[in-house]
Amino acid sequence: MNATTNTHEIAVLGAGYTGMMAAVRLARRTRKLNVRITLVNPSERFTERLRMHQVAAGQELADHRIPDLLAGSGVVFHRAAAIALDAAARVVTLDDGGALHYDTLIYALGSHTDTTAVPGADDHAWTLDDPRRARRFSQRLTEIAAAAGTVTVVGGGLTGIEAATEIAEAHPGLTVTLIGAAEPGNMMGDKARAHLERALDRLRIVRRTGAQVAKVLPDAVRLTTGELIASDLTLWTAGVTVSPLAGQVGIAVDERGRIITDTTLRSVSHPEILPIGDAAAIRMPFGVLHGTCQSGIPTAAYTADALARRLRGKTVRAFRFGYFHQPVSLGRKDAVIQFTNADDTPRRWYLKGRAAVAYKEMVSASPVPTYKLSKHVTMQAQLSNGGRATRALA
């Protein structure tokens, strides 16, 4: 609390999907309260991370600037990276030499691709974490495609599938290999997975399932079996890691470094810290939520609403969330949507083809219009609270 102005200081670390949502929504919810919200991010550009596979394949996205998105909201933008945190003094140290004091901290530092587990990945593999790197990848991709070269995508999850199909569709002369420990789409039902397999066949994507990478070389990938797969360009999408900042200062984290929360999404060890999105270990009766935009945006909206209620002295209900779907693009002209139970297991219903493309574009469209609208009206927080599957926490 600022002793001079009696202002409640709120810092938001990270301006990704969740940090932006929390900051803009909180500003609207607290516009009549004496608060100051500061949003900290190392870049002024808002990164649409869900669409980085499109950038990697050579497509251009709109250039959205965070100060422009915040205009009129009252949120103060500070361009810097958080490099240290003093949880006792409630101070964040920034890489521009500044220090940010807070009464409440919304921790939205997210996650990034983990390239440390396999030798050579950090040196020779590319990731989709940064739009500038993704653009350079697309330039190299064009050069390699002209020579009918080879590209390997490591990681058979949804990100790997979307990247592999986008690249194969944009550059049909390339040999694209998708390497994963499990079958692509193994979390889906039989019919949705069958459509996915047909799409991979149509795009002539080579699959190596049940395979593990032992080493990434400048021009190849070596499997644990010793087999060498030629790779002019390797894209790494296997596994993520979070910022070590919280764990380094004694905040309670899980084995993956995510901040452990209570049922109202406060840190169990430091209740003035509110982790959201990938940075949070949030437990539902069916398990800990895995990092997706589908669950991340609701955590941000809930946290903004809950904090506004607390500042007004009102009670807060427990957070409830259930998964609703698994949307996967298969290039620009195809997609598959697996609808799910709250615990993310597949239901009977699915969409494919053009209907799935339209659905995917609707649910995964740019969040920028939502941020702009959220400055003026209160938007719906989530698709599903999980019904009976999450009621035990209510």
Spans of all domains in the chain: 1-42+80-110+243-319, 121-236
Q: Tokens standing for 127?
A: 């990731």
Alpha carbon 326 to its chain's center: 14
Q: Kindly tell me if the per-residue pLDDT of 384 is higher than 60.
A: no
Q: Kindly tell me if the per-residue pLDDT of 132 is higher than 60.
A: yes
Q: What is the pLDDT of residues 279-293, one digit of tens each?
A: 999 999 999 998 788
Percent of the chain with pLDDT over 70: 94
Q: What is the pLDDT of residue 393?
A: 47
Q: What is the pLDDT of residue 366?
A: 76
Q: Kindly tell me if the per-residue pLDDT of 106 is higher than 80.
A: yes
Average pLDDT over residues 342-369: 90
Mean pLDDT lowest among 38-42, 179-183, 269-273: 179-183
pLDDT confidence tier of residue 2, bands split at 50, 70 and 90:
low
Q: What is the pLDDT of residues 116-125, one digit of tens each?
A: 999 999 999 9
- Which fold would CATH assign to domain 1-42+80-110+243-319? FAD/NAD(P)-binding domain (3.50.50)
pLDDT confidence tier of residue 372, bands split at 50, 70 and 90:
confident
φ, ψ at 382 (rounded to 5°): -160, 160
Domain spanning 121-236: which CATH class is it, in words?
alpha beta
Q: Note whether 82 and 94 are within 8 A (CB).
A: yes
Q: What is the pLDDT of residue 72?
A: 92
Q: Kindly tell me if the per-residue pLDDT of 358 is higher than 60.
A: yes
97 vs 88: CA distance, rounded Å: 20
Mean pLDDT of the chain: 92
Average pLDDT over residues 160-169: 96
Q: Kindly tell me if the per-residue pLDDT of 367 is higher than 90.
A: no
Q: What is the pLDDT of residue 386?
A: 61
User: H/E element holding 106?
Assistant: strand 104-107
The answer to whether the Cα torsion of 239, 245, 247, 253 is positive or negative is: negative
Average pLDDT over residues 98-113: 96
The alpha-carbon radius of gyration of the chain (Å, integer) is 21
Q: Tokens standing for 189?
A: 């039902």
Question: Is 1-42+80-110+243-319's fold the same as 121-236's?
Answer: yes
Q: What is the pLDDT of residue 293?
A: 85
Q: What is the pLDDT of residue 391?
A: 57
Percent of the chain with pLDDT over 90: 83
Q: What is the pLDDT of residue 203?
A: 97
Q: What pTM did the predictor assign?
A: 0.93
